[in-house]
Structure 1
Amino acid sequence: MDKNATVTDRINEMLQHYGLNANSVTHKLGYATNSKMYKILQGTEPSFPTLVDILRAFPDVSSSWLVLGEGPMLLGETGGAVPAAEKKTTAGRAPVVNSGHVVAITVDKDGDDNMEMVPIHAQAGYALQHNEAVFVQDLPRYRVPGFEHGKFRAFEVAGDSMEPTLNHRDIVVCSYVDNWRLLVPDDIYVVVTTESVMLKRIRVRISGKGDEVVLHSDNPHRRPYPLDATDITELWRVRGYISTYLPSAPDVTVERLWEVIEALGFDKGEVRRHLMENATPNATH
């Protein structure tokens, strides 16, 4: 054990051991907002009442280890902690799967989480500095009706990979995915790595850090993109979007054609999928 480790270092080690992060431990401690845990994980020494809350929530953790740095982390142990990937939680469930990174946030004067917006020109910087409080502090902040409670972040859409569902410069409003095992298959996610910020559809849950994650585009001319789960630093689930794109009036002829297709007993979704899969590269879409 590092003799120079601080209480905040040991809290970070404890959370890694249990597969938790600031959001999930906030829920476990029963706090209304996660700002307290974010501050602790970024270096602020916890108060005595907070240490008591932690020890009550984690009865297996040694108070001597947490407060003084003496002895093993867990009561009854004589050695070091078991790596999180090999450890079950106290409830018997497999540990949470995520990057283990702390998500930097900003709060308003009332202590409520802000919704930061990441414009296209800031996304390269965000990929590298997403967990740095100074960088996040400089992002524009907004309030969006219906997204006042919880950890949300907005991202400006870049490119055409998700057309026709989402268009260039649309803004997606996302909720933070704390446990990758619980992502909703076939939903759209903002996938952050150290190299890029991508908007993709994920069709299969991530069961472990060793998984390969296949990222899908809604644009039929873009091929699926495989990515190692270990390369992902953040996942944000798209919950809504803001767009200045308004579709034109429906083509009456096309609508009538769809009615005929359905009247003949064909499934419209299957016909549409067949047309998209067999579209030529130069086809208008």
Structure 2
Amino acid sequence: MKTPDTEAEKRPEIVQRVQQVLRHYGLNASSATQKLGYSTTSKLYNILKGSEPSYPTLVDFLRQWPDLSPEWLMLGQGPMLRGEGSGTPASARQRAAAGEQAAVNSGGVLVVTVDREGEDNVELVPVSAQAGYTVQHNEAVFVKDLPRYRLPKFERGKFRAFEVAGDSMEPTLNHNDIVVCSYVDNWRLLVPDDIYVVVTSESVMLKRIRARITSKADEVVLHSDNPHRRPYPLDASDITELWRVRGYISTYLPSAPDVTVERLWEVIEALGFDKGTVRRHLEEGATSDATL
């Protein structure tokens, strides 16, 4: 049987140096992930298990900890920290200038689960678990107890599935459908008019967002596809997680196209009314709803 020390010695030297960096700063994979601004812990976990870090990852280390020696980190040459002869550690201002503009996000670390090959699972959050998810979404014990799957077409990237409850997104999505979502780390990159799962400390909501979030001070308007549900305003600071819907699983099979509805829209347009204006009037007369 291999001993832990023997296994550690057989890891690539650059992996051992990454481990030394984390020990020096008193970090583990989770806290280092947060420091580096990554959305999931899987990258660092894979490195600590023996996968060599990529060049961009090493650059991220040097930007976050500018007192590290690039020669030591990349080549194993010289001391770990910049000494007197190679300049003093960078100031806070230099460190800020070296980094990229801070993303608008929850500021938390996404907890993930992986299979035996180290690949991310797709965790399912059923309706029965959504109340707990609002307050325990960043707790590893809670997330690892969720049902886990591997889905075709969703093998690359971090995805999570949520069960739909209610009719707020009908006719696009129906009660008991399952939406498969990708994690949105930087909210500035939100795609307007797409559907999102919005997690707060009180609820898990499935809504359409029509404008980007540029600041935590923004008010986010959540829209339903059901014309009988009014838009729902929410402070961006109340959002703890944001997931973009990339697909869905459904047992609902639509019937043949409703010829009557299509004909009605043709008549409305023939009378000179704008279809978008009519739809907007229907939405303004709808009742409020803020559930998934």
How would you bin the TM-score normalised by the shorter chain? 0.7 to 0.9
State the distance in 2 between where 1:211 and 1:56 align: 32
Change (3 A) 1:57 1:251: closer
Normalised TM-score (structure 2): 0.71
- The partner residue of 1:172 within 175, 179, 184 is 179
Unaligned runs of 5+ in 2: 1-23, 74-79, 82-87
Aligned-residue offset at 1:162: 1.7
State the distance in 2 between where 1:256 and 1:272 align: 16
- The partner residue of 1:75 within 64, 86, 89 is 89
Aligned length, in residue pairs: 249
Partner of 2:4: none
Change (3 A) 1:170 1:53: closer
State the distance in 2 between where 1:7 and 1:280 align: 49
Partner of 2:13: none
- Percent identity over the alignment? 69
Deviations 1:46-93 (A, max 9, x none): 98976x9865434342239x989xxxxx9332xxx47x9xx4553xx5
Aligned-residue offset at 1:139: 0.9
> Any conservation in 2 of the 1:187–1:238 contact (CA below 8 Å)?
yes
Change (3 A) 1:248 1:75: same
Matched, 1:21 2:38: yes
- The partner residue of 1:257 within 243, 259, 264 is 264
Bigger-Rg structure (1/2): 2
Deviations 1:231-255 (A, max 9, x none): 2111100111112222332333333
Partner of 1:183: 190
RMSD, aligned CA: 3.6
Change (3 A) 1:76 1:48: farther
Q: Superposed, which structure 2 residues align to 1:36-115 within 5 Å?
A: 36-37=43-44, 56-60=59-63, 61-63=66-68, 75-77=89-91, 81=92, 87=96, 90=99, 93-115=100-122
Unaligned runs of 5+ in 1: 24-33, 69-73
The more displaced of 198-207 and 54-63 is 54-63
Aligned-residue offset at 1:273: 3.8
State the distance in 1 between where 2:131 and 2:213 align: 25
Matched, 1:231 2:233: no
The more displaced of 159-168 and 99-108 is 159-168
Aligned-residue offset at 1:227: 2.1
